[in-house]
Amino acid sequence: MKKAWITPDIRTKAQQLLARLSLEQKAGQMTQYDWGFNPINPDTGLSQRDVISEQIAQGHVGSVFNLAGAEEANRLQKLALGEDGEGVPLLIGRDVIHGYRTVFPIPLAQASAWNPALAGATAAAASREALADGVAWVFAPMIDVSRDPRWGRIAESIGEDPYLASAYAEAWVRGSQIDGDGKGNDDGDGGDGSGDGVGADTAVASCPKHYAGYGLAEAGRDYNTVDLSDRVLREVILPPFRQAVEAGALTIMASFNEVNGVPACANRYLLTTILREEWGFEGVVASDYNALQELITHGVAADEEEACLLALRAGTDVDMASGIYIRHLPRLVREGKVPESLVDEAVLRILAVKLKLGLLERPFVAPSDYATDERLPAEHIALARQAARESIVLLRNEGGVLPLSKSARAIAVIGPLADSRKDPLGCWAFDGRPDDVVSVLEGVRQAADQEAVVSYAKGCEVDSDSASGESDLAEALEAAGKADVVVLALGETFEMSGEARCRTNLDLPGGQRRLVEAVSKLGKPIVAVLLTGRPLAIPWLQEYADAIVQAWHLGVQSGHGIADVLFGDYNPGGRLTATFPLNVGQVPIYYYRKKTGRPPGGVYTSYYLDSSTDPLYPFGFGLSYTSFRYGEILCAKPRVALGEAFELSAQVTNTGDREGEEVVQCYVRDEAASVTQPLKKLVGFRKIRLKAGESEVVTFVLGEESLAIIDADMNATVESGDFTVWIGPSSAEGESVRLTVEAPAQ
């Protein structure tokens, strides 16, 4: 199994290193600082970096993050190794969330591609660039199941479904943990970017986060209380993390939130009972930013000393940013308040990761092309374009307004996001540069025929609806008036999603609705392109826009990816992985919901007086420029014994006139189980490409993993009885069959 990677050789070497360390140096290995945070101490006149540098030289720091490149990384490594070269190198970390210098689509967008392998490739490319800058630890993937679009960090997530998030978790961990020869290039895999989880020469560690339940913050407000039953924890939240561990993640990040009243970095049940004892995780647990200090703010620790003890005993190995371990651990050990063996276990894991990554042999990196070149690597640009176009979800296309004809005489590209080169980078793109971004306007200009006139007007602001917008609006109306078709680039700025960027209003912000309404009065065909970091609640937009293209924040190739879809050079195949609500009042709304005890119909049923309970667009939904027909579901053996698997298939045919991609989805419901079950649960999917008229038989095998429930004793088990299985194009459509798992003969 990949997750067991501490070989006898690594263990012996780690023990030898450990034996050389003083108590302070051990606590130092467990200490990580934010190099990017550099205030000056008014009393001493020293900057934070001066202080950290001094500590690094003494071996009192194990890891830093937020550095500015290879040169600085090498300088700090030299400091850590010391004059005699005998010191322990630093583990240099970074939030490499959806790209490094080459910024790829935000994770929620990449999820919409339903292509985990592609996400693995973008993660590998990002790791290659990061490693060239000395970064050997990426704080990714973010695999919090997220069911609340108010929460800004839904942008960083895979969306609402545990099965899909698990598939991405596996691919992302394997992709990001690249092999390396110290130059950021793969060796041995032909440069295809495929990491292999924990291969012999893994050079970058991933850090799946945030373990666990962070995405369930009450009311979608970041850092808010999480109230999470063990059932939801195990059915919904943990599967992606377990998958990440199985895939060989070398580290994991504990979340800020509490689980059952105990903040994650002090939660022994999460960090030790489940992670280490149940799953056999051998790697390092890092806290989230300053989370040890936050144990005091949470009110579970009276002071730093208590916070230190709680975190250590729970199983937190690395203290990110607070400095509590280095300030208190050595003394607490000397006073006999905590056994040194507990510290040794944690340090051993940290040293093992450093050894695994080859940092002891190759602490330095060679300044690389990725860091110094003005241009991004060509293969990464190509990958960014592919990822951008696969991430796009076509939500509406009335009257076939799309794809646009390239020879349209006049196209007006209007909207506050149309000419933005910063916003498409999305949240968490520290190392991306707006100059590398292709805007929507530029993408359309380059794709349209030379004779076509592509005009532009901003139209309004995203973040204010002030009166100064009148001239913007007038300009937009003038441009739209002269056009054959209007492309409206609308949405959110890069700062409206991500950490601490939550919203209670899920409408298009600022003056955008007014812009849409005014432009629509001209009667021109309207294509709305939505550049957002979250699902929006925009039912009204359907009345004004002939086409709606959900384009997210797509990274450096944003404009090209969008133009590829608008002009039909690429037939969109993206499908939503987070439900679009009709209104904020429905939130949280997700497909994986349970039956209630109330049958439908009548007054005393589960409904709203003033709204439908259906979403605007369901999970799994997305249109194409072609159409697909699903044949009958065939199952040769609809009754099986416990322990056997069902094999089902359906023929899918492209019935339109152009090639296209379909995401064939398979959902299951256990009709009567010992504990309540979701109405539908995704258990499989295949993304297929079919030429016009072509058919493919898609097969799913549903065994224990697909049919198991977690029973009242919290054991995964398959129960006999009836199951309904759907194969279809979204969570809201598709034919179904009834299958039976027979009870064993008495």
| Smallest separation (angstroms) from ligand BGC to the CB of 498 | 10
From the number of C-beta atoms within 10 Å of its C-beta (0-12, 13-18, 19+), residue 276 rates as middle
**Using the rule CB under 6 A, which residue among 179, 288, 294, 436 binds ligand BGC?**
288
When the beta carbons of 24 and 499 are compared against ligand BGC, the nearer one is 499
263 in Cβ contact with 217 (< 8 Å):
no
When the beta carbons of 137 and 592 are compared against ligand BGC, the nearer one is 137
d(CA 663, CA 527): 24
| Smallest separation (angstroms) from ligand BGC to the CB of 240 | 15
When the beta carbons of 156 and 564 are compared against ligand BGC, the nearer one is 156
When the beta carbons of 139 and 567 are compared against ligand BGC, the nearer one is 139
Torsion of CA 334, 335, 338, 343, to 10 degrees: -20
The DSSP output letter for 585 is: G
When the beta carbons of 241 and 456 are compared against ligand BGC, the nearer one is 241
| Binding residues for ligand BGC restricted to 86-105, rule: CB under 6 A | 95
Task: Kindly list the distances between the CA atom of residue 512 and the CA atoms of 230, 562, 617, in Å, as whole numbers in the listed order.
Answer: 42, 20, 21
Identify the H or E element spanning 340.
helix 340-356
When the beta carbons of 35 and 370 are compared against ligand BGC, the nearer one is 35
| Smallest separation (angstroms) from ligand BGC to the CB of 288 | 5
| Smallest separation (angstroms) from ligand BGC to the CB of 52 | 16
When the beta carbons of 163 and 289 are compared against ligand BGC, the nearer one is 289
Identify the H or E element spanning 120.
helix 116-132
d(CA 345, CA 350): 9
Query: In angstroms, how far apart are the furthest CA atoms of the chain?
Result: 81
From the number of C-beta atoms within 10 Å of its C-beta (0-12, 13-18, 19+), residue 249 rates as buried
From the number of C-beta atoms within 10 Å of its C-beta (0-12, 13-18, 19+), residue 4 rates as exposed
622 in Cβ contact with 394 (< 8 Å):
yes
Torsion of CA 415, 421, 425, 431, to 10 degrees: -160
Structure tokens at 708: 């198991």
Structure tokens at 217: 């913050």
| Smallest separation (angstroms) from ligand BGC to the CB of 135 | 13
When the beta carbons of 344 and 499 are compared against ligand BGC, the nearer one is 499
| Smallest separation (angstroms) from ligand BGC to the CB of 289 | 4
Would you count residue 222 as binding ligand BGC (CB under 6 A)? no
Helices 340-356 and 324-334 sit at what angle, rounded to 10 degrees?
Answer: 140
Query: How does DSSP assign 686-729, residue by residue?
Result: EEEEE-TT-EEEEEEEE-HHHH-EE-TTS-EE--SEEEEEEEES
| Smallest separation (angstroms) from ligand BGC to the CB of 322 | 12
Is 288 tagged catalytic? yes
Task: Kindly list the distances between the CA atom of residue 595 and the CA atoms of 129, 222, 386, 592, 674, in Å, as whole numbers in the listed order.
Answer: 47, 29, 39, 10, 14
| Smallest separation (angstroms) from ligand BGC to the CB of 673 | 36
Mask for 457-496, x = binds ligand BGC (CB under 6 A): ----------------------------------------
When the beta carbons of 139 and 700 are compared against ligand BGC, the nearer one is 139
When the beta carbons of 254 and 387 are compared against ligand BGC, the nearer one is 254
31 in Cβ contact with 62 (< 8 Å):
yes
Mask for 236-275, x = binds ligand BGC (CB under 6 A): ----------------------------------------
| Smallest separation (angstroms) from ligand BGC to the CB of 383 | 23
| Smallest separation (angstroms) from ligand BGC to the CB of 62 | 16
Q: Check 179, 288, 431, 546 and give the catalytic one.
A: 288
Torsion sign, CA atoms 582, 619, 110, 170 = positive
d(CA 173, CA 169): 6
Mask for 131-170, x = binds ligand BGC (CB under 6 A): --------x-------------------------------
Backbone angles phi, psi at 530, to 5 degrees: -105, 115
Judged by CB under 6 A, the number of residues near ligand BGC is 6
Task: Kindly list the distances between the CA atom of residue 369 and the CA atoms of 48, 461, 720, in Å, as whole numbers in the listed order.
Answer: 30, 38, 59
**Using the rule CB under 6 A, which residue among 24, 340, 499, 705 binds ligand BGC?**
499
Would you count residue 209 as binding ligand BGC (CB under 6 A)? yes
Structure tokens at 42: 């008014």
Would you count residue 501 as binding ligand BGC (CB under 6 A)? no
**Using the rule CB under 6 A, which residue among 33, 104, 289, 592 binds ligand BGC?**
289
Residue type, 618: P
Which residues are the active-site residues? 288
Interface ranges with ligand BGC (CB under 6 A): 95, 139, 209, 288-289, 499
